[in-house]
């Protein structure tokens, strides 16, 4: 069942996530740890207000868009909530993209202001002249080139007092771009109440984030997953957020954990896999969270064996804001995405939108009040995805008798082999448990009769060599653990798998190889 937030008619998320902490006496509490710097909630509030006033000084008004192209530093929440407090709408842009992607994001959104991290000047510069709507560029965390203004000048003389704009719970609040496997990315328009809904559901009832927690998300703030983990969950309760602007490698992540001793750590399965290959400890961490793609049971098993800390896998999406089905620390089924988070409803349906029986595979629909309002300027995609109260996730799932949900692939990833469904994910989960395999991906390929069969791309761990013998062993291994028809008919050894900027496997690219 849904939950009532009971928000007042006039509601601004910056007031809820920032000002409330100061009002409730947490002004001196550390809000952010980043490298050797630390900021209190009082300092964050002053920064939010100065940035909000700076934006107003540039002529930004309610509903104008402000694009954020920022690394994870203490500036992020201040710019994000600074924009929101004035009623403007921040757009959290992925910082790993190419120039032409930024051209698209900035023209599609018609952002008037860009807050640009100095580290990203070079990737932005090539498209500067082709922008149709952008009026101001503010460079943070470094020197501004002559075509931009420096952050210092932007906030110079700005007051640290600012009244929140008279927005309501259903006003636009922030956008996140969601990249599908086909077509241009879609701007998901989130409302002022969406983050609060995630806090009251996943944040409080699954994560159980406490005031004395320190949250460290290796997934960046521009990612819907990272935004909750590193920003609105800790800020909802006056906890501390740990930021690392560097690329999340096993080494940089272990180092940040050792330095700041977070209590909750958020990662993605690929990172957990590489952390298992590297030296390092988890001192102080009480819970790990995984999302973005299914966490293979074998990675979980090896993680718990080594670190004695659980990983709670949960599925979220950009459109739904955060996690809506999840394992929790006291209820974990390896290989499962867990149970429906209180506050959400789930339905697994067939192609006619009829619910399927327990144990049967279908498409996952979700209902819950953190779902974005619509896709910006994408009316047809909006209609296809948002079905009244429900959203079509395009994920294939089944649930067991106990109400645990199991991911079996994207709606378009499933393979029919000999007339029977084969989940590439199931074959991958089997292969990954083999000691020689570091990473693998299975896609459909056609045989001489033009029938689809599974084909595996495999990255071996150091010390193992590809070849006929390894091929044979891996095929036998799958045959031994799964139904015969599921074994990969071909094995291709590769040095690495193609991944999107956010670390998701590009299956479509492998299908074409
Ligand atoms: C897949 C998973 C199996 C699934 C996200 C947590 O990943 C996030 O958002 P995206 O929009 O992608 C959504 C799609 O990714 N997926 C995500 N998590 C899992 N599949 N098991 C999982 N645990 O296909 C989903 O539809 O990039 C994750 C919080 C917020 C998020 N936006």
At 181, is the pLDDT very low, low, confident or very high (cuts 50, 70, 90)? very low
What region, left, alpha or beta, does residue 52 occupy, with left being phi > 0 and alpha being psi -120 to 50 degrees?
Answer: alpha
d(CA 361, CA 408): 8
Distance 506 CA to ligand 1 centre (A): 14
Is 186 in contact with 109 (CB distance < 8 Å)? no
The residues, ordered by sequence, that sit 6+ positions from 445 with a Cβ below 8 Å of its Cβ are 452, 453, 454, 455, 489, 490, 511
Of 79, 58, 72, 82, nearest to 134 (Cα)? Answer: 58
d(CA 454, CA 487): 7
Q: Over range 220-241, report the average pLDDT.
A: 97
Of 53-67, 375-389, 447-461, the one with minimum mean pLDDT is: 447-461
d(CA 110, CA 479): 53
Q: Over 90: is that where the pLDDT of 302 sits?
A: yes
At 274, is the pLDDT very low, low, confident or very high (cuts 50, 70, 90)? confident
* Three-class SS state of 96: coil
Is 412 in contact with 444 (CB distance < 8 Å)? no
In words, the CATH class of domain 413-511 is alpha beta
Domain at 193-411, CATH from 3.90.1720.10, 3.40.50.10420, 3.30.70.3340, 3.40.50.12780: 3.40.50.12780
Alpha helices in 446-512 (DSSP H): 468-481, 507-511
With the most atoms of ligand 1 within 8 angstroms of its CB, the residue from 222, 266, 293, 506 to mutate is 293
d(CA 125, CA 132): 14
Give me the phi and psi of 32, to 5 degrees please.
-140, 135
* Three-class SS state of 510: helix
Q: Over range 22-39, report the average pLDDT.
A: 98
Alpha helices in 61-150 (DSSP H): 75-85, 99-109, 121-124
Is 312 in contact with 326 (CB distance < 8 Å)? yes
Q: Over range 202-228, report the average pLDDT.
A: 97
The pLDDT of residue 484? 79
The pLDDT of residue 410? 74
Using the atom order of ligand 1, give the atom closest to the CA of residue 314: 23
Pocket of ligand 1 (CB under 6 A): 178, 224-225, 291-294, 313-318, 322-323, 337, 393, 395, 407, 410, 502
The residues, ordered by sequence, that sit 6+ positions from 232 with a Cβ below 8 Å of its Cβ are 17, 195, 198, 199, 203
CA-nearest residue for atom 9, ligand 1, is 317
User: For residue range 439-484, what is the model confidence (pLDDT) as tens digits?
Assistant: 999 999 988 777 778 999 999 999 999 999 999 999 999 998 887 7
Per the listing, tokens 């080139």 go with 145
The residues, ordered by sequence, that sit 6+ positions from 350 with a Cβ below 8 Å of its Cβ are 356, 362, 363
The torsion of the CA quartet 274, 277, 279, 284, rounded to 10 degrees, works out to 50
* Residue of higher predicted confidence among 421 and 105: 105
Q: Over range 76-88, report the average pLDDT.
A: 98
Burial of 54 (0-12, 13-18, 19+ CB in 10 A): buried
CA-nearest residue for atom 8, ligand 1, is 317
Whether the domain at 8-192 and the domain at 193-411 fall into the same CATH topology: yes
Distance 315 CA to ligand 1 centre (A): 5
Distance 112 CA to ligand 1 centre (A): 30
User: For residue range 145-175, what is the model confidence (pLDDT) as tens digits?
Assistant: 999 999 999 999 999 999 999 999 999 999 9
Distance 293 CA to ligand 1 centre (A): 6
Distance 180 CA to ligand 1 centre (A): 12
For the chain, domain boundaries: 8-192, 193-411, 413-511
User: For residue range 306-365, what is the model confidence (pLDDT) as tens digits?
Assistant: 999 999 999 999 999 999 999 999 999 999 999 999 999 999 999 999 999 999 999 999
- pTM to 2 decimal places: 0.87
* Residue of higher predicted confidence among 247 and 483: 247
Q: Over 90: is that where the pLDDT of 184 sits?
A: no
Can you read off the two tokens belonging to residue 309? 């800390």
Q: What is the mean pLDDT of the chain?
A: 94
- Compute the C-alpha angle 446/450/455, nearest 5°: 15
d(CA 366, CA 391): 5
The pLDDT of residue 504? 84
d(CA 129, CA 103): 10
- Radius of gyration of the chain from its Cα atoms, rounded to whole angstroms: 23
CATH topology assigned to domain 8-192:
Rossmann fold (3.40.50)
For the chain, the straight-line distance linking the first and the last C-alpha, in angstroms and rounded, comes to 45
With the most atoms of ligand 1 within 8 angstroms of its CB, the residue from 94, 207, 228, 315 to mutate is 315
């Amino acid at each position: 069942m849904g939950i009532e937030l009971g928000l007042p008619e006039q509601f601004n998320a910056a007031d809820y996530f920032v000002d409330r902490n100061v009002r409730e006496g947490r002004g001196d509490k550390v809000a952010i740890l980043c490298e050797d710097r630390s900021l209190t909630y009082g300092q964050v509030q002053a920064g939010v207000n100065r940035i909000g006033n700076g934006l107003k000084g540039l002529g930004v008004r309610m509903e104008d868009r402000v694009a954020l192209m920022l690394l994870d530093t203490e500036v992020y929440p201040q710019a994000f909530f600074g924009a929101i407090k004035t009623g403007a709408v921040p757009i959290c842009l992925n910082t790993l993209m190419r120039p032409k992607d930024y051209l698209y994001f900035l023209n599609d959104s018609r952002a008037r202001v860009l807050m640009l991290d100095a580290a990203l000047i070079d990737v932005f510069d090539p498209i500067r002249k082709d922008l149709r709507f952008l009026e101001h560029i503010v460079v943070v965390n470094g020197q501004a080139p002559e075509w931009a203004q420096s952050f210092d000048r932007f906030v110079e003389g700005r007051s640290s007092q600012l009244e929140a704009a008279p927005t309501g719970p259903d006003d636009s609040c922030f956008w996140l771009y969601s990249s599908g496997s086909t077509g241009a990315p879609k701007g998901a328009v989130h409302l002022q109440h969406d983050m609060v809904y995630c806090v009251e559901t996943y944040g409080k009832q699954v994560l159980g984030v406490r005031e004395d927690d320190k949250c460290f998300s290796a997934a960046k703030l521009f990612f819907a997953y990272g935004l909750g983990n590193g920003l609105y969950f800790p800020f909802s309760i006056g906890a501390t957020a740990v930021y690392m602007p560097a690329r999340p490698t096993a080494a940089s992540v272990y180092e940040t954990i050792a330095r700041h001793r977070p209590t909750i750590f958020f990662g993605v399965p690929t990172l957990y896999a590489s952390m298992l290959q590297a030296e390092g400890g988890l001192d102080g961490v009480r819970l790990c969270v995984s999302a973005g793609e299914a966490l293979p049971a074998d990675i979980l098993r090896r993680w718990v064996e080594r670190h004695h800390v659980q990983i709670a896998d949960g599925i979220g999406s950009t459109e739904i804001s955060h996690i809506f089905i999840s394992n929790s620390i006291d209820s974990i089924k390896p290989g499962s995405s867990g149970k429906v988070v209180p506050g959400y409803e789930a339905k697994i349906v067939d192609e006619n939108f009829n619910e399927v029986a327990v144990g049967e595979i279908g498409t996952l629909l979700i209902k819950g009040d953190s779902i974005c309002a619509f896709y910006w300027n994408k009316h047809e995609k909006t209609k296809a995805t948002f079905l009244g109260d429900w959203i079509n996730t395009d994920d294939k799932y089944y649930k067991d008798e106990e109400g645990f949900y199991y991911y079996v692939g994207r709606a378009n990833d499933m393979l029919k082999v000999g007339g029977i469904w084969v989940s590439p994910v199931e074959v991958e989960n089997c292969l990954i448990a083999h000691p020689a395999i570091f990473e693998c991906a299975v896609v459909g390929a056609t045989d001489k009769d033009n029938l689809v069969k599974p084909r595996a791309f495999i990255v071996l761990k150091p010390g193992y060599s590809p070849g006929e013998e390894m091929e044979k062993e891996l095929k036998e291994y799958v045959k031994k653990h799964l139904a015969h028809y599921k074994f990969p008919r071909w094995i291709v050894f590769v040095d690495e798998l193609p991944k999107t900027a956010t670390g998701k496997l590009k299956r479509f690219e492998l299908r074409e190889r």
